[in-house]
Amino acid sequence: MRILVTGGTGFTGKALVKRLHDDGHDVIALDYKEGVKTGEIRDWGVKVIIGSVTDAAVVKEAMEGVDVVHHLAAAFRELDVPNTYYHEVNVGGAKIVLDAAVEAGV
Q: What is the spatial distance between Cα 96 and Cα 106, in angstroms, rounded to a whole number?
A: 13
What residue spans define the domains of the chain?
2-104
Q: What is the pTM of this model?
A: 0.92
The H or E element containing residue 59 is: helix 56-63
Contact indicator for 2, 21 with CB cutoff of 8 Å: no
Q: How is residue 68 annotated by DSSP?
A: E
Contact indicator for 7, 13 with CB cutoff of 8 Å: yes
pLDDT tens per residue across span 43-101? 999 999 999 999 999 999 999 999 999 999 998 877 787 889 888 999 999 999 999 99
Fold of the domain built from segment(s) 2-104: Rossmann fold (3.40.50)
Q: Rounded to the nearest 5°, which phi and psi values hold at 70?
A: -110, 110
What local confidence, expressed as pLDDT, does residue 3 receive? 99
Single-letter code of the amino acid located at 13: G
